[in-house]
């Protein structure tokens, strides 16, 4: 399927949405995408940065700084 067709199908589905919350989430997604593009957010990280993030995540988990799957699912219902 080409990009033009995908866009048309997306817009058709978007127009069917009745949830204010879902539309707000999609708006935020688009806004955040623009910010991410501006900040080169999607550039690959170095091995050192990757290792540092793993270490920080493990430390957060050991010290109870995390959310369970149930908490995340409840937040985004």
**37-to-27, 43, 56 alpha-carbon distances in Å:** 16, 10, 25
Residues 6+ apart with CB under 8 A from 75: 67
- The pLDDT score that the predictor gives to residue 40 is 57
Torsion sign over Cα 26, 30, 27, 16: negative
How many other C-beta atoms lie within 10 A of the C-beta of residue 26?
13
> Which pLDDT tens digit goes with each residue over 33-49?
766 555 555 678 899 99
C-alpha distances out from residue 69 to 14, 19, 65, 74, 76, Å = 28, 24, 13, 9, 11
pLDDT, residue 41, reads 56
Q: How confident is the model at residue 48, as a pLDDT?
A: 95
Q: Provide the pLDDT for residue 77.
A: 81
Q: What is the pTM of this model?
A: 0.41
């Amino acid at each position: 399927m080409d990009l033009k067709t995908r866009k048309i199908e997306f817009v058709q589905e978007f127009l069917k949405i009745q949830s204010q919350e879902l539309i707000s989430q999609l708006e935020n997604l688009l806004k955040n995408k623009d910010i991410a593009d501006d900040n080169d957010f999607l550039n690959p990280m170095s091995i050192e940065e990757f290792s540092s993030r793993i270490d920080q995540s493990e430390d957060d988990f050991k010290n109870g700084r995390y959310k369970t799957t149930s908490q995340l699912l409840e937040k985004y219902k």
